[in-house]
Copies of this chain bind each other. A is one copy, B any other.
Amino acid sequence: MIPLKFFDDVMSLKRVPRSGWITYRISGHDVESVSSHSYSVAVIALVMSEIMRSRNQKVDVEKVLKMALLHDLSESLTFDISKAYLRYLGRKGSVLKTRLERKAASRILSDLQNKQLARTFRAAIGGYSSSKTLEARIVHCADALDLLLQVIEYERMGYSKVTLDPIWRETRSKLLKYRLPLGNEWSRQLQRVRTGLDRKRRRAKSRSLAVKRPGYGRLRLG
């Protein structure tokens, strides 16, 4: 039997906005969906895993991808719970968030009507939350990296750097917490890209426009 209710939940993530962006004054139309976000997290985590493998680290890629695909599944029920608000509640806030999300995940997984499958998926979600394994740390880093890349995307569109600054800084420090060399290295490089982005813009403004390509292409190389 096709687990239709479960798939309904999965499909609904296409319509659930990452509402946190509203706080940072991104237009409703440009706010990404939860599934768009989860896709990028999965691809970033995949690239990280393969690079770490090539550096002779042992990574269970299947486990990484499962975590990445399932880590925001609960948001089909809870929507994207306002971090801005929960932060205000202090430590209680994040405890609450975790509890709400765990309950929601349970209900969604029960819709699979397949106990074995539910168990496998619950393990993946639980593993992600506990942040203990290498695989979980990779996905947490990918989650943060997607957010940093998205800030850069929004700034390239024309959204305000000043308005986006707090979420950028907050996410960078969060990323450090997972102490993954690759994550830290990339975070530093993204910082340079963002600064360069800014420098480029100021320079472009402070000289004639007749100059040779200030180059969007090169810009992307940081």
How many chain-A residues does the 8 Å CB contact rule pick out?
107
26 A–B contact pairs at CB < 8 A?
A1-B189, A2-B222, A4-B189, A4-B220, A14-B153, A15-B22, A16-B22, A17-B19, A27-B157, A28-B30, A29-B30, A42-B69, A43-B69, A54-B114, A61-B62, A61-B66, A77-B88, A79-B79, A156-B162, A157-B159, A158-B158, A161-B205, A162-B197, A162-B204, A198-B205, A198-B209
List 11 additional contacts besides A33-B33, A158-B160, A162-B197; criterion CB under 8 Å.
A3-B47, A22-B79, A51-B117, A54-B116, A54-B117, A79-B82, A162-B200, A165-B204, A165-B214, A166-B216, A194-B209
Given A11-B150, A78-B82, A85-B79: A186 and B2 interface contact (C-beta under 8 Å): yes
Task: List residues 17-35 of chain A with CB under 8 A from any CB of chain B.
Answer: 17, 19, 22, 25-30, 32-33, 35
Please tell me if the beta carbons of A209 and B186 are within 8 angstroms of each other in the complex. Answer: no
Task: List residues 66-95 of chain A with CB under 8 A from any CB of chain B.
Answer: 66, 69-70, 77-79, 82, 84-85, 88-89
Residues of B within 8 A of A100 (CB): 85
Q: Which of B7, B40, B114, B201 contacts A44 (CB 8 A)?
A: B7
* Interface flag for A107 (CB, 8 Å): yes
The complex places the Cα of A140 from the Cα of B113 at a distance, in Å, of: 24
CB of A173 to closest CB in B, whole Å:
11
CB of A206 to closest CB in B, whole Å:
8
Please tell me if the beta carbons of B32 and A29 are within 8 angstroms of each other in the complex. Answer: no
| Interface membership of chain A positions 94-117, coded 1 if the CB is closer than 8 angstroms to chain B and 0 otherwise | 000000100110010000101011
Given A11-B153, A46-B69, A69-B65: A2 and B189 interface contact (C-beta under 8 Å): yes
